[in-house]
A and B are shown apart, each in its own frame.
Chain A
Amino acid sequence: MPLFKKIGGKIMIIALPTKTSGEKSFISEQFGRCNFFYIYDTETETGEVYINANKDGQGGVGVKSSEFILKKGANILIAPRVGEKSMRILKSTDLKIYKSTDKIVKENIASFLNGELKEL
């Protein structure tokens, strides 16, 4: 049984910065320096986990993280907040940012698909 519903038939790729790996992880407070990214595809209804390779960089990690999720084709980002440079990049694309809740990844995606999350 599918875990999440599609809304309006539009395919969405949702990116979330996470503390640990997997759909049961909590959301990371930091976007650029999160431990993992969870990338969820609403069409296949599956998610994939990626290690954030830029996590320990000395600067511009937000830039690299933004580049990474955009390369993965993300058009939705669910995060508590996003840094200045990342925001500048992400705002210049079609990607939309939604404010996460303090629940786990799975519940955040469900809340988003139910239209319960606010746009940042």
Chain B
Amino acid sequence: MQIAVLSGKGGTGKTLLSVNLSYLADNATYVDCDVEEPNGLLYYKLKEKQTEDVKIKIPVINHEECIGCEKCTNFCKFNALAYILDKVRVFKDLCHSCGGCKLVCPTGAISEVDKVVGYVHSGSMFDTKIYSGEMIVGVESGVPIIDNLLKKVEDSDRLVFVDSPPGNGCSVMESIKDADYCLLIAEPTIFGLHNLNMVYKLAKVFDKKIGLVINKYTDNNMINNYAKENNIKIVGTIPMDLELGKLNSEGEIVASNSKYKPIFNDILKTIKKELVL
């Protein structure tokens, strides 16, 4: 069972929510798919972790065998190949590793090599299994890393919490495509509402079951109104609390504090009810 935690806007509490829920749930798995700026490991301070490379395939051209037919440069939809000064040049950053250039080459002048684009760290703490992706600075897409992360948990019989990247781009779609439940989190600001609308539409496109958590909850009810209009189930709220914010910013799992444990426990219970667990 996979629960994807997502929000349109960054800094609304995706990591706060997914870390604390996976901490409270029995035998859960936490997957940090925000590979551009992973911070789940700031909370789950792993003493021991395994790290493996994530590799993608990049074409290399054998210029001796290349006849300059330009089939590959015309085929590439990502403009990663260009025919410059009678030579095919590869732009690694633009390549999406589709392998099409190799297929269309009539002389077999194209072969593929591995390129490391990031890492997957894994370990466990308490009774939680933890996976965290990390993208190498300068790489243009984190999608292969997210793909690799989710392969590790696809057959898991545990409750999996996926900490998605912010926004509604490719990497978010990748991280929610196998999810059984989309847990949206938003804060009651105009910006927060605008971006909630964005991810809500995305989750709708994917036809997912949706729940909403309001973070930094005050008496401002713009998010509540939005939820009512669109028939979104509010599964819980996290209050605007400076002490909670402070503990969280110091890298502590706030649900380990008895004062805040009930907030997250309630959310977890409601989600479990929604999913009929």
Contact = CB atoms under 8 A, between A and B. Distances in A.
Interface string B75-101: 000111011110001010110000000
A49 interface: no
Given A67-B73, A85-B91, A59 B85 contact: no
A75 B85 CA distance: 12
Contacts of B73: 67
A60 B91 CA distance: 9
Nearest to B94: A60
B85 A93 contact: yes
A52 to B, nearest CB: 13
- The 9 closest A-B CB pairs, nearest first, are A60-B79, A67-B82, A60-B94, A63-B82, A63-B79, A64-B79, A70-B84, A63-B91, A67-B84
Query: How big is the A interface, by class?
Result: 10 to 19
Interface in A41-93: 54, 57-61, 63-64, 66-67, 70-71, 85, 89, 92-93
Given A89-B82, A89-B84, A92-B84, 19 more contacts: A54-B79, A58-B78, A60-B79, A60-B80, A60-B91, A60-B94, A61-B79, A63-B80, A63-B82, A63-B91, A63-B94, A66-B82, A66-B84, A67-B73, A70-B84, A85-B91, A85-B93, A93-B84, A93-B85
A60 B5 CA distance: 32
Interface in B220-254: none
Interface of B: 73, 78-80, 82-85, 89, 91, 93-94
Contacts of A63: 79-80, 82, 91, 94
A117 B10 CA distance: 45
